[in-house]
């Protein structure tokens, strides 16, 4: 059996011994795990004592009270993250105000268990944590063996889908309990939010499916001549509702009527992701200009926006899987950081190039060059 080391930092002896008792006979078992996982519990009465243990040995999970006699839980959280970034931290506290919760999450707390908790509540939190740790370790092991993608898929899916599922469940419960009275109109906002969450989940799943498809090299359909203008117009149409909401104006400028030999789904993915980004990272009232230019042996697709821009030092990472820029302007914008990595894979498949030019605060232009366009017969 595998053992995870749990450190409980709490000044109440009853909580520490309670956790030790609950976990002493508890094991986690999943169909995809070879072995059961059990727990060894270490206890610390103060933050200082907890830190000593963290400095001495590797701890998998810390259950951390916020209200401690000396150093406070939230400060300890930061120190633990510096010393053992891999350690997962669950805050256990009866004093959790919204402020503490937000701060703890932004520093990297993995979960919250409000006090007083039942044995079942503690067990479910640890079950989640164990699954997360297991998948993380499996991924890193398999990465070395070159088979990472299937497990990355599982890991990301389990991680990313948890939050929207919880949110939608919460909204549905509000509806079931008639929390806002009998008038259906009062529920319009939570229904809208649920729809947004579902859209996010769908786009993540689609992205991941695209990614695994390119990783395995399987292409489901046969190449054909694709009318690039029709494809661009249909992609613009798809993003219209979101663009209207953000008051972003999308325009197509095309100086030639050509076809590209390829698979429609793949070219759609290029257009969809670049238009989606150009709208998503734009400003209210901004513009997106898409230029399609033919230049003899190649066709250029330029996606230019008047959005928040990208700092020079971030550019080298843009095409990495799961990379997202985190700053005040991107806060609150949802995404999985997969779009551009998928676009890059497709462009490579077509032996094309992708370049980016940007100025923070002014806008960004992505330029894709694809070789061998085919002139349409009537030209």
Ligand X SMILES: Nc1ncnc2c1ncn2[C@@H]1O[C@H](COP(=O)(O)OP(=O)(O)OP(=O)(O)O)[C@@H](O)[C@H]1O
Compute the least distance from the CB of residue 255 to Mg ion, in Å: 27
Residue found under tokens 């929390």? 179
Distance CA 197, CA 80 (A): 32
Among 277, 282, 306, 341, contact with Mg ion (rule: CB under 5 A): 277
Q: Is 50 in the site for Mg ion (CB under 5 A)?
A: no
Among 6, 64, 232, 338, contact with ligand X (rule: CB under 6 A): 338
Among 128, 148, 330, 353, contact with ligand X (rule: CB under 6 A): 330
Among 323, 349, 367, 376, contact with ligand X (rule: CB under 6 A): 323
Segment near ligand X (CB under 6 A); pick from 112-120, 208-216, 225-233, 324-332: 324-332
Segment near Mg ion (CB under 5 A); pick from 2-10, 99-107, 274-282, 316-324: 274-282
Question: Strands 363-371 and 298-305, how do they pair?
Answer: antiparallel
- 49-65 burial, b at 16+ Cβ within 10 Å, e below that, comes to ebbebbeeeebbbbbbb
Q: Which two tokens stand for residue 49?
A: 């004592």
Distance CA 110, CA 129 (A): 8
Among 73, 286, 339, 352, contact with Mg ion (rule: CB under 5 A): 339
Q: Is 339 in the site for ligand X (CB under 6 A)?
A: yes
Q: Is 68 in the site for ligand X (CB under 6 A)?
A: no
Q: Which two tokens stand for residue 240?
A: 């219209």
Distance CA 235, CA 290 (A): 11
Q: For the CA atoms of the chain, what is the radius of gyration?
A: 25
Q: Is 335 in the site for ligand X (CB under 6 A)?
A: yes
Residue 66 contacts which entry, Mg ion, ligand X, none (Cβ below 5-8 A, type-dependent): none
Compute the least distance from the CB of residue 355 to Mg ion, in Å: 17
Nearer to ligand X, 111 or 210 (CB): 210
Distance CA 379, CA 360 (A): 41
On the question of a cis peptide bond just before residue 333, with omega within 30 degrees of 0, the verdict is no
What's the burial of 328, exposed, middle or buried (CB within 10 Å: 0-12/13-18/19+)? exposed
Compute the least distance from the CB of residue 80 to ligand X, in Å: 28
Say if CB 299 and CB 258 are below 8 A apart: yes
Q: Backbone phi, then psi, for 300, in 5-degree steps?
A: -105, 135
Residue 308 contacts which entry, ligand X, Mg ion, none (Cβ below 5-8 A, type-dependent): ligand X
Concatenated DSSP letters of 24-45: HT--B--TT-SS-EEEEEEEES
Pick from 196, 195, 184, 223: nearest CA to 374: 223
Nearer to ligand X, 52 or 359 (CB): 359
Among 340, 347, 354, 368, contact with ligand X (rule: CB under 6 A): 340
Question: Strands 249-254 and 88-93, how do they pair?
Answer: unpaired
Among 47, 73, 307, 352, contact with ligand X (rule: CB under 6 A): 307
Among 10, 43, 111, 207, contact with ligand X (rule: CB under 6 A): 207
Q: Is 337 in the site for ligand X (CB under 6 A)?
A: yes
In the sheet with 373-375, reading across from the earlier edge strand, the strands are 224-227, 258-262, 373-375
Here's the x/- map for ligand X, 258-277, by CB under 6 A: it reads as ---------------x---x
The 10 Å Cβ neighbour count of residue 68 is 23
Q: Is 153 in the site for ligand X (CB under 6 A)?
A: no
Segment 356 to 375, residues that bind ligand X, using CB under 6 A: 364
Among 53, 256, 325, 349, contact with ligand X (rule: CB under 6 A): 325
Compute the least distance from the CB of residue 309 to Mg ion, in Å: 15
Pick from 342, 362, 224, 236: nearest CA to 292: 236
Segment near ligand X (CB under 6 A); pick from 182-190, 237-245, 254-262, 302-310: 302-310
Distance CA 66, CA 104 (A): 10
Among 4, 208, 308, 347, contact with ligand X (rule: CB under 6 A): 308
Q: Write out the residues near Mg ion by the rule CB under 5 A.
A: 277, 339
Q: Write out the residues near ligand X by the rule CB under 6 A.
A: 203, 207, 273, 277-278, 281, 305, 307-308, 310, 318, 323-325, 330, 335-341, 364
């Amino acid at each position: 059996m595998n053992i995870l080391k749990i450190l409980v930092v709490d000044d109440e002896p009853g909580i520490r011994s309670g956790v030790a008792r609950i976990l002493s006979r508890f094991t986690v078992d999943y169909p995809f795990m070879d072995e059961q996982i059990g727990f060894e519990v270490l206890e610390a009465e103060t933050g200082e004592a907890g830190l000593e243990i963290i400095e001495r040995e590797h701890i998998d999970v810390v259950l951390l009270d916020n209200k401690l006699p000396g150093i406070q839980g939230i400060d300890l959280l930061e120190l633990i993250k510096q010393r053992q970034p891999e350690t997962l931290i669950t805050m256990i506290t009866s004093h959790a105000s919204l402020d503490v919760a937000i701060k703890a999450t932004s520093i990297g707390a993995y979960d919250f268990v409000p006090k007083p908790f039942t044995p079942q509540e503690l067990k479910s939190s640890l079950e989640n944590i164990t699954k997360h740790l297991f998948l993380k370790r499996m991924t890193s092991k398999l990465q070395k063996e070159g088979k990472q993608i299937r497990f990355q898929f599982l890991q990301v899916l389990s991680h990313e889908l948890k939050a929207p599922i919880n949110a939608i469940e919460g909204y549905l419960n509000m509806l079931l309990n008639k929390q806002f009275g009998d008038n259906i109109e009062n529920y319009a906002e939570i229904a809208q939010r649920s729809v947004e969450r579902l859209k996010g989940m769908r786009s993540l799943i689609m992205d991941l499916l695209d990614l695994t498809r390119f990783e395995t090299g399987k292409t489901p359909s046969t190449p054909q001549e694709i009318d690039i203008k029709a494809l661009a117009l249909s992609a613009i149409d798809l993003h219209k509702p979101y663009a209207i909401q953000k008051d972003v104006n999308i325009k197509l400028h095309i100086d030639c009527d050509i076809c590209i030999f390829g698979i429609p789904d793949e070219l759609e993915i290029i257009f969809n992701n670049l238009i989606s980004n150009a709208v998503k990272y734009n400003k209210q009232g901004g513009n997106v200009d898409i230029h399609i230019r033919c230049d003899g042996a190649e066709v250029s697709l330029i996606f230019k926006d008047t959005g928040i821009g990208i700092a020079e030092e971030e550019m080298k990472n843009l095409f990495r899987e799961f990379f997202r820029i985190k700053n005040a302007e991107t806060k609150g914008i949802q995404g999985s950081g997969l779009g551009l990595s998928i676009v890059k894979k497709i462009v490579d498949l077509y032996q094309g190039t992708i370049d980016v030019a940007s100025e923070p605060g002014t806008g960004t232009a992505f330029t894709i060059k694809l070789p061998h366009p085919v002139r349409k017969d009537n030209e």
